[in-house]
Amino acid sequence: MKTPVRPLFATLLAAAALVSARAADAPDLAAGAEASAMCQGCHMADGSRGLPENPILQAQFPEYLAKQLREYQSGKRVNEIMQGMAAAVDDKAIRDITAFYGSKAPVAGEARNKDTVLLGEAIWRGGIADRKIPACAGCHGPAGAGIPIQYPRVAGQHAEYTELQLRAFRSGARANNAQMAGVAAKMNDREIQAVSDYAAGLR
């Protein structure tokens, strides 16, 4: 039995429209590089090592970066500078900028405090059982590579930045991840410093 011409033509048109829509949604790395000019003052041209108070964006998951930008836009995550920056970008720019940073090779860091590296490793790999603090590796991976959207890459991240975020989760100043807030609430300053420094050296 022959397939009717009209339904076949309609199917082909629908398929072509779907392909076209997907192409339109695909990130444009060149556009992302251009749009990232507004980010370079704090995050450097390729998202690598700027001031330690600012995160390294190089090789971070685009999905995670996009989630953070949208949460700055909505006010779920609070930072005066970043909320102003995020307000200036639309969905296409977010898609392009985050893909640009995500396309970069990971940057290597190093743990610098030899006195706390064993404590940091113990927390990263095994958590702190008596306070029911889970191992960081359970979500961020043994090498700190993370899982897209929810769990960022933290390997090589500035220890100072990671420490600031853990403190912010602990104090409630950062409230866009209940799981991390619960973990940080149980940690003391030395433990936060140790695991932040240890994560900086993961690769």
Residue 190 is predicted with a pLDDT of 98
Higher pLDDT, 18 or 139: 139
Specify the amino acid at residue 75.
G
The model carries a pTM of 0.86
Is the pLDDT at 15 greater than 60, yes or no? no
User: Rounded to whole angstroms, what are the CA distances from 59 to 15, 35, 199?
Assistant: 33, 17, 15
Higher pLDDT, 12 or 163: 163
Give CATH 1.10.760.10 domain extents, the chain: 27-102, 117-200
Residue 123 is predicted with a pLDDT of 98
Residue 11 is predicted with a pLDDT of 54
123 touches 135 (CB < 8 A): yes
pLDDT in tens, 32-85: 999 999 999 999 988 888 899 999 999 999 999 999 999 999 999 999 999 999
Strand (E) or helix (H) holding 179: helix 178-184
pLDDT in tens, 81-117: 999 999 999 999 999 999 999 999 998 999 999 999 9
CATH dotted code for 27-102: 1.10.760.10
Which residues, listed in sequence order, are joined to residue 151 by a DSSP beta bridge? 147
> Which range is least confidently modeled, 25-29, 128-132, 140-144, 184-188?
25-29
Residue 183 is predicted with a pLDDT of 98
CATH dotted code for 117-200: 1.10.760.10
> Which range is least confidently modeled, 14-28, 113-127, 136-150?
14-28
Instruction: Compute the residue count for the chain.
Output: 203
